[in-house]
Amino acid sequence: MKEKIDFKLWSHAAADWSTQYLEGVANRPVRSPNAPGDVSAQIAATPPQKAEPMDVIFADFERIIPDGMTHWQHPRFFAYFPSNAAPAAIIAEQLAAAMSAQCMLWQTSPAATELESSMIGWLRQSMDLPDTFSGVLQDTASSATLCAVLNMRERALDWKGNTQGLSGMPRVRVYASTRTHSSIDKALWVAGLGQDNLVKIPTNEHFQMDLEALQEAITADRQAGFLPGGIVACVGGTSMGATDDVRQVCNIARREDLFVHVDAAWAGSAMICPEFRELWDGVELADSIVVNPHKWLGAPMECSAHFVKDPAMLQRTLSITPEYLKTREHEDIVNFSEWSVQLGRRFRALKVWFLFRAYGVSGLQEMIRNHVQWSVKLARRLEAESDFELVTQPILSLFTFRYTPAGNTNLDEINLDLLQRINNDGRIYLTQTDHDGKKVIRFVTGQFDMQESDVDIAFDAITSLAREM
């Protein structure tokens, strides 16, 4: 017979554990010190046949799991892009988990659907996007971009791709700069368009898509009998923050009748601050935009705002309603599963609601401004050291640098070695990238509760570990 657990006792235990974890996370090494297999070796090879007591399960969790985690809520997580989680939004996630609703249709969770529409509205207003955009909360930017590429494909093929497949169809082409995220490539793979139909446009000295090259590529493709479908513009690229001239890209797209999707997965959160909005000047001309509040705004994973100008077009691409999904009671309702690839959906809007209400737009703006300011401060300090070089200047809170000790020729190896030492040390966590043929170290702030002193610790860790080499 199925055991009944004392839900109240164990949910309180989980809340106590979570509180202690968040209070003490700064004392843990940021990146897990585990070696591959450390966790698997401690997990039973087969599932238990009989129920186990919750205290044993909980004790195993505490013993095995936290040390095997890389701590994304550590204030000195400066790697990749952040995936920050505001405490109030974590509480909303707990509540959503208790209800564990499947929010595919209005009818299956009216509150979730209506709150989602409202939260898209709040996000849109806080970023000063025009009310010509509506939208949906997708799980990730990869999904939002896939939806956008599918939309480009169907629009270009006069809505025949879903029914007839792609064989015998003209080759639909999508354009993006060489500095865009790999989720764009993957979207073309999954949409059946193929890597060869993603035309990578070189960038200029400002790391922006070269507009002349873009225009030439579109013209050449038309002459070759291909079917240009859309452009993905990048605002805040992953490697070093590359940002296209969105207005000019959209102008070309308008002339060429192409769909524009803007990938602002990371940088988009900063658009709640008016002073940063010049970065995506012209964004109102785009057809769709993705911004990940789960990266930098404080909404726990997964939460990607996918703003769309013409939701009917997105629905035409993705809506499929067999009898068992039809609802009859109401008109003028939104069924968000018709705006996304997945049918089943989590209740994502609750955490956005708690987030905005617990901190206010002004509190979130202050956090982002601090992050940017503290990153710039660290960049300036490293730049002033004779044995360090800033490779790319800060774009919002992201910059790249190298250790350049005198007389050393193999700087790539030295910097990868330094990175390894930094991450093994545990005080901070950084990652590397390639920039114009050089291995460089990325630095990006973003954890929700980090302080200025955390970037001071980063400076000490980076410089002292480099000079010990």
Residues that bind ligand PLP (CB under 6 A): 81, 140-142, 181, 183, 237-238, 263, 265-266, 292, 304
Tokens standing for 114? 């209506």
Q: What is d(CA 417, CA 225) in angstroms, rounded to the nearest whole number?
A: 49
If the CB atoms of residues 217 and 233 are measured against ligand PLP, the closer one turns out to be 233
Tell me the closest approach of the beta carbon of residue 360 to ligand PLP, in angstroms. 25
Q: Give whole-number Cα distances, 107 to 64, 305, 337, 349, 428, in Å.
A: 41, 22, 12, 16, 46
Nearest 5°: phi and psi at 263?
A: -95, 100
Q: What is d(CA 431, CA 433) in angstroms, rounded to the nearest whole number?
A: 7
Q: What is d(CA 219, CA 198) in angstroms, rounded to the nearest whole number?
A: 15
If the CB atoms of residues 242 and 461 are measured against ligand PLP, the closer one turns out to be 242
Q: What is d(CA 107, CA 328) in angstroms, rounded to the nearest whole number?
A: 10
If the CB atoms of residues 83 and 423 are measured against ligand PLP, the closer one turns out to be 83
Tell me the closest approach of the beta carbon of residue 351 to ligand PLP, in angstroms. 15
Tell me the closest approach of the beta carbon of residue 15 to ligand PLP, in angstroms. 28
> Cβ(287)–Cβ(307) under 8 Å?
no
If the CB atoms of residues 26 and 272 are measured against ligand PLP, the closer one turns out to be 272
Tell me the closest approach of the beta carbon of residue 378 to ligand PLP, in angstroms. 20
If the CB atoms of residues 292 and 335 are measured against ligand PLP, the closer one turns out to be 292
Q: Which helix (H) or strand (E) holds 182?
A: helix 182-190
Place of tokens 């939104």: 334
Q: In this structure, how many other beta carbons lie within 10 angstroms of the beta carbon of residue 390?
A: 18
If the CB atoms of residues 292 and 340 are measured against ligand PLP, the closer one turns out to be 292
Tell me the closest approach of the beta carbon of residue 237 to ligand PLP, in angstroms. 6
| Nearest residue to 343 (alpha-carbon basis) of 322, 372, 374, 361 | 322
If the CB atoms of residues 265 and 390 are measured against ligand PLP, the closer one turns out to be 265
If the CB atoms of residues 96 and 141 are measured against ligand PLP, the closer one turns out to be 141
> Cβ(209)–Cβ(201) under 8 Å?
yes
Tell me the closest approach of the beta carbon of residue 228 to ligand PLP, in angstroms. 22
Q: What is d(CA 324, CA 38) in angstroms, rounded to the nearest whole number?
A: 45
| Sign of the four-CA dihedral 417, 423, 425, 429 | positive
If the CB atoms of residues 266 and 307 are measured against ligand PLP, the closer one turns out to be 266
Tell me the closest approach of the beta carbon of residue 262 to ligand PLP, in angstroms. 10
| Nearest residue to 175 (alpha-carbon basis) of 209, 140, 223 | 209
If the CB atoms of residues 134 and 142 are measured against ligand PLP, the closer one turns out to be 142
End-to-end CA distance of the chain: 61
Tell me the closest approach of the beta carbon of residue 180 to ligand PLP, in angstroms. 7
Tell me the closest approach of the beta carbon of residue 19 to ligand PLP, in angstroms. 28
> Cβ(240)–Cβ(433) under 8 Å?
yes
Q: Say how far residue 215 (Cα) sits from the centre of its chain.
A: 29
Q: What is d(CA 62, CA 16) in angstroms, rounded to the nearest whole number?
A: 12
Tell me the closest approach of the beta carbon of residue 292 to ligand PLP, in angstroms. 5
Q: What is d(CA 323, CA 442) in angstroms, rounded to the nearest whole number?
A: 51
